[in-house]
Amino acid sequence: MKPQTASSSRCPPWHLRLGQAPPARPRPPPRTQFWVSPRPARHFGLCTDDRSLSSTGPFLGRGGPSAGPGSGSLAVRLSRRRWVVVLLFSSYSLCNAFQWIQYGSISNVFVRFYGVSTFAIDWLSMSYMVTYIPLLFPVAWLLDKRGLRLIALAGSALNALGAWVKLGSLKPHLFPITVLGQVICSLAQVFILGMPSRIASVWFSPREVSTACSIAVFGNQVMGGCPLWDKGD
């Protein structure tokens, strides 16, 4: 007769023979997982690879310069392009501010050229304030939903379009075309003024936010003060 073994006799486990519940297996420790939203990649469209999101904003990962070995804390990997981005934004914000006050700084010249009143020339700069009030909240909502990329492209496109329209109004009878170009530039201003704080929060560390905001609004403020220097001379 063939001898029976433990596998052939199918002997029940010891906990079943004793009427006890099976011992619980120890669960492995949970693995720390991080999920990086692809949304920062849509801000400027420079990169779509999750591993190199540092080129389009901060990258979230484990550890970092301030985290020790084995640390599970989140750190921000800053991109070297962040200063180029904020300086580029400040430059095109400067261009928009220049178009805001370009007629009011030498209003007497445009009054004689177009043959209109000083009140009409003043309204070219006032159009910036008029369009900003109703469009502030829709553009802010669009900035939260679609990110920086769409807002930056829309603002720069409207600014360039308004400049081209005004360039084609250099004749005394084309003052309505000048008004149209100025209104288009005023629409661009609504997109531009809401971006400095978002650029600082997306691209910079908490210690650099105030510096980034000040640089971003620097161009707008400097160009807004240039007419005062001109009138002072």
pLDDT digit string (tens) for 70-124? Answer: 444 555 578 888 899 899 998 888 888 888 888 888 888 999 999 999 999 999 9
Instruction: Identify the three-state secondary structure at position 24.
Output: coil
The amino acid present at 167, given as its one-letter code, is L
**What's the token pair of residue 143?**
């900035």
What does the pLDDT read at residue 164?
A: 94
What is the pLDDT confidence band of residue 139, given thresholds at 50, 70 and 90?
very high
Max Cα–Cα distance, the chain, nearest Å: 124
pTM of this prediction? 0.63
Instruction: Please name which of 118, 82, 100 lies closest in space to residue 193, comparing C-alpha atoms.
Output: 100
d(CA 90, CA 199) in angstroms, rounded, equals 11
Which of 3-12, 16-25, 28-37, 85-94 is most confident? 85-94
Instruction: Please name which of 207, 12, 186 lies closest in space to residue 103, comparing C-alpha atoms.
Output: 186
What residue ranges do the domains of the chain occupy?
82-232
pLDDT digit string (tens) for 44-61? Answer: 333 333 333 333 444 443
CATH code of the domain made up of 82-232: 1.20.1250
Average pLDDT for the chain: 75
Residues 6+ apart with CB under 8 A from 59: 36, 52, 53, 76, 77
Instruction: Identify the three-state secondary structure at position 193.
Output: helix
